[in-house]
Structure 1
């Protein structure tokens, strides 16, 4: 008899929880871009993560939440990967001239990288339908952003985006394996604090530059209260209950939904190609998060 395959649990995809996460997360790209118009990249992130750390710390203290030293250390590592590396790389790349299309295309490869890393690490073994879903989802991302990708992105901006891609991919897997059982409030307070401490020297090196104006504080408040508090709380819950590959596949929906926000809020033009990309991305997420009917062994 063949050993049973390790099938990841699905269910985190096209559900209210999953779609809520996508909607909340997508607004962060717009708010983050607005912050970078008024602040240096690492300075903006230090403000964001420090604010989120304080919110979660207050919530943890209010209920006297507790966690072991081991869980706290694991959360700190997850924070460095998912927050410092991901957003540090992406914000720096955008400050160096990377377009939103290029950034979306690189980060859009995250579900595929997570699936490959999980497969080779032996922690998850996606079935055929999931692999098809991952490929369909990435194809959808390409269709949505292809008209915004140009050849002007510098080598250093590409490096920044790849650092961000590696950070969120490794961070998702690390959190799933080592840091998904800790109290949500403590875990996210530690993650945001660790990210703040790692990025603070870089923010000081760039002069801690920001404009004390509404154009900075308004998107900052949004990224703290909606994206960091709401978005990462939803991500934390999804990673805790579902397979890393299934959760990662939700990122295929980020570029299409961001394009819709751009159409509604900024008057950006929607094309048939973008519509086709949205359909492909949604189909990819559905396939990547569904549970196969067959038993895991023949």
Structure 2
């Protein structure tokens, strides 16, 4: 069911805020835990919360007919996305890595045009490119330290998997229940990443202090469970490329939170990137008369 414009606006604002604060919160949490174990734990908790919420709708699950949809979404949107991201951040500075990952809305715009039949015209192309340029401009300050080709490739793979996964979510949204489509892939991803972390890392390295526990619970419930549910609702009820354009705001929110809570400074790059991102969102979302839409 399509969301009203007002409700979609509130859901979108919630999504951008939660996924924005996720970056500094995750950075803080990694002071107390190995990365893959943490990625697995927060996904497991988030998936269990969604599973409990979805349980009264168990008749809509229809696993015999839809299990492959959940499995494919889990691989693309959760296991590959979080796995590539977690490992890649150890190989590339965070600023550069985030700019690579947020190539996703550009790839999503192309995928939505090719596979979802969404319109593509000059202003939308310009907006998607400008948004990515804005993210890159903001992130350029983080481009210090060692940069490995492997890390860059992992960032690109993370962006590609998220873009393809989002297109797949949109294509299959009418075949599955939205809450189960969010809960099951997250649970699958949580199990896979937790087991991977258990094999490659040590649980003895986790410091079970109260700030870490509260941080992990917040991320699990608000960022993972409610955030992915909001993302699925938005993608399934509107144009995927337009929803994707607003995700350009996520690294901006992350940087503002870092300025407020981690003592990072406001830079010229941040201001310039903000202007470019706002212009990008306006260009992608502006309504164009059918007669003026370019046939590409």
- The structural deviation recorded for 1:82 is 0.9
- The structural deviation recorded for 1:237 is 0.8
- Matched residue, 1:257: 253
3-state SS of paired residue (1:268): coil
Determine which structure has the larger helix proportion and give its number: 2
Supply the distance in 1 between the matched residues of 2:227 and 2:280 (Cα, whole angstroms): 22
- The structural deviation recorded for 1:185 is 2.4
Q: 1:50 aligns with which of 40, 44, 49?
A: 44
- The structural deviation recorded for 1:273 is 2.7
Contact 1:48–1:224 (8 Å) recurs in 2: yes
- Matched residue, 2:222: 226
- The structural deviation recorded for 1:97 is 4.0
Q: Using structure 2 for the length normalisation, give the TM-score.
A: 0.88
Deviation track 1:118-142 (CA, whole Å, cap 9, x = no partner) reads 3344633322211111111112112
Supply the distance in 2 between the matched residues of 1:261 and 1:297 (Cα, whole angstroms): 38
- Matched residue, 1:80: 75
- The structural deviation recorded for 1:25 is 0.8
- The structural deviation recorded for 1:32 is 1.5
- The structural deviation recorded for 1:85 is 0.9
Q: 2:107 aligns with which of 104, 110, 113?
A: 113
**Residues paired across the two proteins, number:** 289
Q: Using structure 1 for the length normalisation, give the TM-score.
A: 0.87
- 1:87-102 equivalences under 5 Å are 87-94=82-89, 96-102=90-96
- The structural deviation recorded for 1:64 is 4.6
RMSD: 2.6
3-state SS of paired residue (2:290): coil
Kindly tell me: are residues 249 and 180 of structure 1, through their superposed partners in 2, closer, same or farther at Cα, counting changes over 3 Å?
A: farther
Supply the distance in 2 between the matched residues of 1:85 and 1:286 (Cα, whole angstroms): 31
Deviation track 1:14-73 (CA, whole Å, cap 9, x = no partner) reads 933322211111111112212222222221111011101111111112455522233343
Q: 1:270 aligns with which of 266, 269, 273?
A: 266
- Matched residue, 1:204: 198
Supply the distance in 1 between the matched residues of 2:77 and 2:124 (Cα, whole angstroms): 24
Kindly tell me: are residues 181 and 264 of structure 1, through their superposed partners in 2, closer, same or farther at Cα, counting changes over 3 Å?
A: farther
Contact 1:34–1:215 (8 Å) recurs in 2: no
- Matched residue, 1:283: 279
For structure 1, the residue ranges without an aligned partner over 5 or more in a row are 1-10
